[in-house]
Amino acid sequence: MSSEPTQTSGPQARSASVRLSGGPGGVGDEHPIQEMLRIALPAVVTMMSYVVMQFVDMLIVSGMGPDALSAVGNGGIAAFVMAAFVFGMLGVVTTYASQNLGAGHPERSGAYAWAGLWVSFLAWVGIMLPAALFLGEITAGMRSALSLESDPSVARMEIEYGSILLAGMFFTIAARGTGHFFYGVHRAKTVMVGAILGNVVNLPLTWCLVFGKFGMPEMGVQGAAIGTVVGSIVEWGVLMVVFLSPAFDREFHTRRSWRFSGAHIRDIWRIGWPGGVQLGNELVCWWVFMTGFVANFGVAHNAAAWITLRYMHVSFMPAFGISTAVTAIVGKKVGQQLPDLAASRAWLGARITVIYMGACALLFLIFRHELVGLFVNFAPAEALGAAPAEDVIRIGGQTLVVAAVMQVFDALAIIMIGALRGAGDAIWPGVVTAVTSWLCIVGGGFLASRMWPAGGSIGPWIAVALYFVALALLLVYRFQSGQWRSMAVVQAEKWACIKCGHDLSGIDPEGACPECGTECWHSLATGDRPLMPPEAGAGVVPEVAEID
| Amino acid at position 34, single letter | Q
How many of the other CB atoms lie within 10 Å of CB of 134?
13
272 and 131, same domain (yes or no): yes
- Please, is 546 exposed, middle or buried when counting C-beta atoms within 10 Å of its C-beta (0-12, 13-18, 19+)? exposed
Q: Are residues 153 and 278 in the same domain?
A: yes
Q: Which residues pair with 495 in a beta bridge?
A: 524
Q: What is the pLDDT of residue 385?
A: 52
**Same domain assignment for residues 363 and 277:** no
The answer to whether the beta carbons of residues 261 and 119 sit under 8 Å apart is no
Average pLDDT, the chain: 80
Which of 283, 303, 288, 305 minimizes the C-alpha distance to 154? 303
Domain that holds residue 509: 491-535
CA proximity to 140, closest of 291, 305, 301: 291
Each as own residue / partner, the long-range contacts of residues 257-263 (CB below 8 Å, 24 or more positions apart, any chain) are 257/110, 257/111, 257/114, 258/114, 259/114, 260/118, 261/111, 261/114, 261/115, 261/118
Does residue 496 contact residue 524 with C-beta atoms inside 8 Å? yes
11 band by pLDDT with thresholds 50, 70 and 90: very low
Q: What is the mean pLDDT of residues 289-317?
A: 90
Whether 227 and 352 share a structural domain: no
Is residue 22 a part of any domain in this protein?
Answer: no
pLDDT (mean) for 462-481: 95
Higher pLDDT, 547 or 136: 136
Task: Tell me the average pLDDT across 84-102.
Answer: 78
**Is 372 in the same domain as 388?**
yes
pLDDT confidence bin for 272, thresholds 50/70/90: confident
Residue 29 counted as domain residue:
no
Is residue 69 assigned to a domain? Answer: yes
Structure confidence at residue 1 (pLDDT): 34
The helix (run of H) or strand (run of E) holding residue 276 is helix 262-288
Same domain, 274 and 311: no
Q: Are residues 282 and 304 in the same domain?
A: no
Q: Which of 245, 269, 292 is the last residue of a domain?
A: 292
- Helix, strand, coil percentages for the chain (3-state, nearest 5): 75, 0, 25
Question: Among 19-28, 262-271, 437-446, 467-476, which is the least confidently predicted range?
Answer: 19-28
Task: Evaluate if pTM is beyond 0.85.
Answer: no
Domain count, the chain: 3
CA distance 455 to 297: 10
Give, for 495, the enclosing helix (H) or strand (E): strand 495-496
Digit-coded pLDDT (tens) for 342-372 = 898 899 999 999 999 999 999 999 999 999 9
Average pLDDT for 292-297: 90
Which of the listed ranges 36-40, 50-54, 130-134, 517-521 does the model predict with the highest average pLDDT?
130-134
Q: What is the pLDDT of residue 387?
A: 58
How far apart (Å, rounded) are the C-alpha atoms in residues 145 and 296? 13
Does any domain span residue 16? no
Q: Is the pLDDT of residue 5 over 50?
A: no
Mean pLDDT along residues 408-418: 92
Question: Would 269 be classed as within a structural domain?
Answer: yes
Identify residue 216 by its one-letter amino acid code.
M
260 and 359 share a domain? no
| 48, 215, 469 from 414: Cα distances, Å | 16, 45, 12
